[in-house]
Amino acid sequence: MSTELREEVRQRYAEAAKGGGCCGPSESSGDCCGPSNEISSTWGCGNPTAVAELREGETVLDLGSGGGDDVILSARRVGPHGTAYGVDMTDEMLALAQRNARAAGVRNVHFLRGEIEDVPLPAESVDVVISNCVINLSTDKPAVLREIYRVLRPGGRIGISDVVAEDRVAPEERAERGSYVGCIAGALSKGEYEQGLREAGFADVSVEFTYEAADGIHGAIVKAVKPRT
């Protein structure tokens, strides 16, 4: 089933790269993805580049980078002495991201083909990991959180925008409220997200709801820090 879901997600994003939508429409809530940042025609549910409070000279990684909008914004914020990476499993999105980066005139960006459960970067190689409405689409979220921890340097942090359920909403109820590719059925609950991050090794974990996408389902800001020791 996980392989079938992964392929369904890949196909949806391949269509999105050609001009379709991203997550939605779901059965109950319409398009779960709201406006996310200064660049138009983006796909996401928040503004992870602002959440992460990027600083000059940092190395940032965007998981599920799609058309590259958040990578381009990150590259501008970290400046010429910083680096922004994007990882995506969809060839069509990677091609779109490359075109967008060329059009934006940014040079400190690198787009890598890969899965967010197996990031093609060395351990302790980035300062910040961001993601925009993507982790909910993974079929192996513990692996994603472990990979985030692995690639972060000690003291590194995450700034993630994602779709998250209230703890009262059971997995089967999430599926009733929307599809997996619609960003609803695969959403973790707040408690599950917090527990998963702590089990991966993170500290200073917080999951804050920002808007309601469906009954008991919210856009959320997720933050955490990799301890220095």
Query: pLDDT by residue for the chain (229 residues), tens digit each?
Result: 467 766 666 676 667 666 644 443 333 333 334 433 333 334 567 788 787 889 999 999 999 999 999 999 999 999 999 999 999 999 999 999 999 999 999 999 999 999 999 999 999 999 999 999 999 989 899 999 999 999 999 999 999 999 999 999 999 888 877 665 667 778 999 999 999 999 999 999 999 999 998 899 999 999 999 999 8
- What is the model's pTM? 0.84
Decide if 33 contacts 24 (C-beta within 8 A).
yes
List, as one string, the DSSP characters of 87-106.
Answer: EES-HHHHHHHHHHHHHHT-
Torsion of CA 99, 75, 51, 188, to 10 degrees: 50
Q: Which domains does the chain have, with CATH numbers?
A: 2-225 (3.40.50.150)
Contact between 134 and 162 (Cβ < 8 Å): yes
Contact 64, 132 (CB under 8 A): yes
